[in-house]
Chains A and B, each alone.
Chain A
Amino acid sequence: MPATYEPIATTTLGSNVSSFDFTSIPNTYTDLKLIMVLSGSGNGAAVHYKFNDSATGYSMTEIYGDGTTAASTRETGLTIGRFSASTIFSLLAGETNRTLFIMDVMNYSNTSVNKTSLVSISRDRNGAGGVSNSVGLWGSTNAITKITITTNDSTAYFTNGNTATLYGILKA
């Protein structure tokens, strides 16, 4: 029986890559928690995700602040999940400050519900940056067995040395 809060896998990038995966995710937990500390280069490319290689059914509602303004936005009918619709958190050339992404995927293996996630993003560059909270929908009742994190842009990459850990959380 798995523990209540348990690391499933940790990825440490050994080179600059445009995507990385968590595969063969067991269905024995209730929720997943993905924690990533990322930097990259891509001149404005956003950070995206996919579940089970699906290219359909993603949408999101977001609230974010950039140090000056608070705003809310929505994206619908996406072919890939987006952590943020704001350019605040896009990958920038020569970026050395890392951005924290935390994603809670609730009831990820429940085949009676479409999958809803809560996402928090934090980035500060001592004069620029922002904070974001969002809720994302993947319109599928399939259990999630794979998560892909991607720039969705062949010219953009995540930097060598970035880390991401996937945890499983099990209810009583």
Chain B
Amino acid sequence: MAVVSIKNKLKSGSLLVGNAAYDPAAFVSIATITPSGVTTASFNSIPSTYQHLQIRGIYQGSALDWLGIRANGISTNSYSMHRLNGDGATATADALTSDNRIDRIMETPTSTTTSVWGVVIIDVHDYASTTKNKTFRIFSGYDKNGTGRIQLGSGAFLSTNAVDSITLITGGQTFNSGTQFALYGIKGA
């Protein structure tokens, strides 16, 4: 069996004939960041060797705020988004165009205790393609047993450049300690 990669080998053992086959993982943990007291959190130097990326995280802020996404450090009007939003009473849909970030698809809850955290799963398919603009799928929400928000959104990074960095940026508030985002790479066949 061809060995795709042993860089992230997760199992011990020999690759010699007769031993158990090595099965390189398709879903690989790349990095974890834990921002605290800052307004941005970045994954940098993302390798181009995966097919897709996924970010999974929990977050909390010093104030109620929107969390945006930028790619490759680009802060010009190179982004747009569409979202479905539910606040527990009303379902709405809206969009933003020509924005300086993919915005308003993650709301940061605040909490004076350890209680409530926003959660998010972000998918970026074909992030390393140099022929396609990049689409982000964002699924986020928080619930505070009486308030909260659930959102499903799509965001576009209007560039065919491969994505080699992703920044999560607040609207001005800072991340609370305990916030963490984990980046995963998903391999193609």
Closest chain B residue to A31 by CB distance? B56
- A73 lies within 8 A of B115 (CB): no
Q: CB-defined interface of A2-39 with B at 8 Å, one 1/0 digit per residue? A: 01110000000000000000000000001100000000
- A76 lies within 8 A of B146 (CB): yes
Where the two chains meet, the residues of B that have a C-beta atom closer than 8 Å to any C-beta of A are 10, 25-32, 56-58, 84-91, 93, 114-119, 121, 139-146, 148-150, 152, 178, 180, 182-184
Q: Tally of A-B residue pairs with Cβ under 8 A?
A: 144
Interface SS of chain B: strand
- B31 lies within 8 A of A77 (CB): no
List 7 extra interface pairs beyond A116-B117, A172-B182, CB under 8 A. A4-B29, A5-B27, A59-B145, A61-B87, A114-B117, A116-B142, A171-B182
With an 8 A cutoff between CB atoms, is A118 at the interface?
A: yes
Residues in B whose Cβ lies below 8 Å from that of A135: 119, 141-143, 148-150
Given the complex of chains A and B, what is the CA–CA distance between A60 and B142 in angstroms?
9
- A4 lies within 8 A of B184 (CB): yes
Residues in B whose Cβ lies below 8 Å from that of A113: 58, 114-115, 117, 178
- B27 lies within 8 A of A61 (CB): no
Residues in B whose Cβ lies below 8 Å from that of A139: 115, 145
Given the complex of chains A and B, what is the CA–CA distance between A79 and B108 in angstroms?
26
Chain A positions 117-165 with a Cβ under 8 Å from a chain B Cβ? 117-118, 120, 133-137, 139, 141
- B91 lies within 8 A of A171 (CB): no
- B146 lies within 8 A of A118 (CB): no
Q: CB-defined interface of A63-76 with B at 8 Å, one 1/0 digit per residue? A: 11100001111101
- Nearest-Cβ distance from residue A31 to partner chain B, whole angstroms: 6
- In the complex, the 3 A-B pairs of residues with the closest C-beta atoms, listed nearest first: A63-B86, A135-B141, A74-B88
- B25 lies within 8 A of A63 (CB): no
- B139 lies within 8 A of A3 (CB): no
Q: CB-defined interface of A38-73 with B at 8 Å, one 1/0 digit per residue? A: 000000000000000000010111111100001111
Interface SS of chain A: strand
A61-B141, A112-B114 given; A3·B148 CB < 8 A: no
Given the complex of chains A and B, what is the CA–CA distance between A117 and B139 in angstroms?
11
Residues in B whose Cβ lies below 8 Å from that of A57: 145
Give 9 A-B contacts (CB < 8 Å), ordered by A residue. A30-B182, A59-B146, A72-B91, A113-B114, A116-B117, A116-B142, A120-B139, A133-B150, A135-B119
A76-B146, A113-B117, A116-B142 given; A4·B10 CB < 8 A: yes
Residues in A whose Cβ lies below 8 Å from that of B144: 59, 137
- B85 lies within 8 A of A63 (CB): yes
A135-B150, A139-B145 given; A106·B119 CB < 8 A: yes
A112-B114, A137-B116 given; A61·B25 CB < 8 A: no
With an 8 A cutoff between CB atoms, is A169 at the interface?
A: yes
- A63 lies within 8 A of B91 (CB): yes
Residues in A whose Cβ lies below 8 Å from that of B121: 104, 118
- A63 lies within 8 A of B152 (CB): yes
- Nearest-Cβ distance from residue A94 to partner chain B, whole angstroms: 31
Residues in B whose Cβ lies below 8 Å from that of A90: none
A30-B182, A61-B149, A113-B114 given; A171·B29 CB < 8 A: yes
